Chain A
Amino acid sequence: MIDVASLRRTKTILGYLFVAPTIIGILVFTAGPIAFSMILSLFYWDILSPMKYAGIEHYRWLAEDPVARTVFQNTFVFGVVVVVLQNLLGFTLALCMRNVLNKYFRFFFRSVFFMPLLMSGATVSVFMAYFFNTDFGIVNYYLSIIGLPTVPWVSSSDVVLLTTSIVYTWQHVGFTFILFLGAFSTLPTEVLDAADVDGITGWRKVWYLYLPLVSPTIFFASVIGFIHAVQVFDHPYVLTRGGPGDSNRTAVMMIYDVAFKDLEFGYGSAVAIALFAVIFVATMLQFWAQKKWVFYE
């Protein structure tokens, strides 16, 4: 005979036992810290001396500090440039893969586009710094060979953020590519067949058919790409340590500098909370986008 009551009781006990380590871990290492960050952002603290209440002073700094303005502007511009580049490349590459039917070729291209994702952003930036070196880098060498002016990739404050975006995109384009590859593999065949019957080909097919059909993925990839990109640290840190000046400094680099170099943990937390607000808004957009995505299916 099965004792339903005792079955339910063991399920309850086992349930709590099973989730306890993860839930406690999340409370201690994620939920707690985010709450503590919010509180800490209202205090002056250097870990060694006692905490002192600061009110919203740190947020006022954030609004008035020209460095903070530059940093958040850099982060935003970087996010937008990366999203545009990744979408352009990811979409066109996945579109071209529709014409590649040989399975070995498909494996080759997929692996190549994916390979940089297996590396550390720091490692990639180390060798890309050699590549983009202004005086004896390989990129400038070839530019000068074909008679073009060389570009101060990492030594000019006007160019360095673009260089970082290129390096970041080089590394992460495989992810967007995979997203679009997935989207193209689930297109409704009856719509495509109907278009073939109507004789729609070439660019018209891309513009009127493929683009609208994968538009949910474009939106999805943009929001995801933006969320990831605004958290960038490895690339600007390893390429130029944020310089020249502050031209390559991003929000996470500022958290690192303010908290762990200047030991202003309160101000650092305020920067972190501001970045979190940006990510929060982008995430809400993503949830909204997903609803649309599901609706499309």
Chain B
Amino acid sequence: MNRLRDYRGQAAVYLYLVAISVVILVPLLWVVSTSLRLPVESYSLPPKWLPTDFRWENYYEVLFSYYLEKEGIFVGSQASANVPFLHMMKNSFVVCFFVTFGQIFFCAFAGYAFARLKFPGKDVLFWLVLATMMIPIQVTIIPIYILLFNMGLHDTLTGLILPAIPSAFGTFLMRQYYLRIPSVLEEAMIIDGGTQWQIFWRVYFPLGTPGMVVLGILAFNYHWNEFFRPLILLSTDSNFTVPLGIVALRDYKMTGSISVVLAGIVLSIIPALCIYLFGQKHLIEGLLAGSVKG
């Protein structure tokens, strides 16, 4: 009797988990299969869940039709012809590259200083870091826009990258990592006649790598998907990042095929998915650490 109840309970548990998984996976499956569909069938009801046509031209269109049309070759729909998607992919990679490595470097320096060095005013400065961690970008966007406007950096990738590099959260995260590394290493280096710089560069910086990976993955994922800041700071198509490009694709598509839009979406997900497969543990760890940030 009890055994039977156990089985039933177990079945209910799996049923629930599978049901929610279906709710999450079904839209994604539809996106992928419809991105491979013929334009005429892209909106057909009842929806077909599995890919049937494998029309890879949709991907070709979203990537190249803007550039081909410039050459006088017209392929596909109006939507993709208006959106320089390759430019946007490149822009997103450029932004993510500089923000990610910028954050890693500067946060490693600052985090190390707050964890291991002594200097007057350290506590006040660290308090400043903590206090600014909870201020969201949405609240400071107006002054940032005005500042970048006056610097002549609005509608440039530099204007998108520069304010994103100093990270209070990243500094906090790196400080926590460096605090965990035993100070015996430092003392040994001093006795061996190592300089402060050598202690940092040869010992602590390499040992902080796991923290940097967590920070790097979070920064890449965040800025790859970021929409609000680019929407306000960028205004020229060829400066757009990928999420702006997806919405532009959608807006240009008045009628007809949505397959091309969905092909763009699939392309935009691939880099983030690779990052997840490469470092899911780090990403989860980072998000849990990030939850302290608020």
Contacts and interface: CB of A to CB of B under 8 A. Distances in A.
Interface string A104-124: 000011011111111111110
B236 interface: no
A26 B269 contact: no
Contact of B141 (A2, A92, A255, A283): A255
A200 to B, nearest CB: 14
A138 B45 contact: yes
Interface string B101-112: 000001101101
B144 interface: yes
A176 B161 CA distance: 30
B125 A23 contact: yes
Interface string B266-294: 00110011011000100010011001101
Given A37-B139, A131-B27, A286-B294, A15 B118 contact: yes
Contacts of A36: 143, 146
A171 to B, nearest CB: 9
Interface in A34-49: 34, 36-37, 40, 47
Interface stretch (B60-68, B70-78, B83-91, B128-136): B128-136
A8 B142 contact: no
Give the dominant DSSP class at B's interface: helix
A120 B294 contact: no
B195 A10 contact: yes
A252 B228 contact: yes
Query: Considering residues A17, A119, A120, which has the most beta carbons from chain B within 10 angstroms of its beta carbon?
Result: A120
Given A11-B119, A19-B113, A122-B246, A279 B142 contact: no
B288 A10 contact: no
A126 B246 CA distance: 8
A163 B258 CA distance: 21
A272 interface: yes
A273 B139 contact: yes
Given A119-B225, A265-B146, A18 B141 contact: no
B273 A118 contact: yes
B217 to A, nearest CB: 11
Contacts of B119: 11-12, 15-16
A114 B232 contact: no
A234 interface: yes
A71 interface: no
Given A34-B140, A123-B265, A265-B142, A26 B128 contact: yes
Interface stretch (A61-69, A93-101, A148-156, A190-198): A93-101
A59 B283 CA distance: 41
A136 B228 contact: no
Given A21-B109, A37-B143, A92-B16, A126 B136 contact: no
B99 interface: no
Contacts of A290: 292
A127 B261 CA distance: 9
A145 B45 CA distance: 11
A224 interface: yes
A30 B142 contact: no
A136 B45 CA distance: 8
B181 to A, nearest CB: 16
Contact of B132 (A26, A121, A234): A26
B145 interface: yes
A18 B25 contact: no
B82 interface: no
A238 interface: yes
Give the dominant DSSP class at A's interface: helix
Interface in B28-68: 28, 30-31, 43, 45-47
B265 A118 contact: no
A117 B273 CA distance: 10
Contact of A23 (B30, B110, B225, B261): B110
B117 A11 contact: yes
A175 interface: yes
Interface string A236-279: 00100000000000001001100110000100110011011001
B208 interface: no
Nearest to A167: B27
B213 to A, nearest CB: 17
Contact of B135 (A17, A269, A276): A276
Contacts of A252: 138, 228
Contacts of A99: 9-10, 13
Given A25-B165, A127-B265, A283-B134, A233 B139 contact: no
In the complex, the 7 A-B pairs of residues with the closest C-beta atoms, listed nearest first: A25-B166, A15-B119, A33-B143, A120-B225, A18-B113, A33-B140, A15-B117
Given A256-B232, A279-B136, 5 more contacts: A22-B167, A119-B268, A220-B291, A272-B142, A286-B294
Interface of A: 2, 7-8, 10-12, 14-19, 21-34, 36-37, 40, 47, 89, 92-93, 96-97, 99-100, 108-109, 111-123, 126-131, 136, 138, 141, 145, 170, 175, 178-179, 182, 202, 220, 223-224, 227, 231, 233-234, 238, 252, 255-256, 259-260, 265, 268-269, 272-273, 275-276, 279-280, 282-283, 286, 290
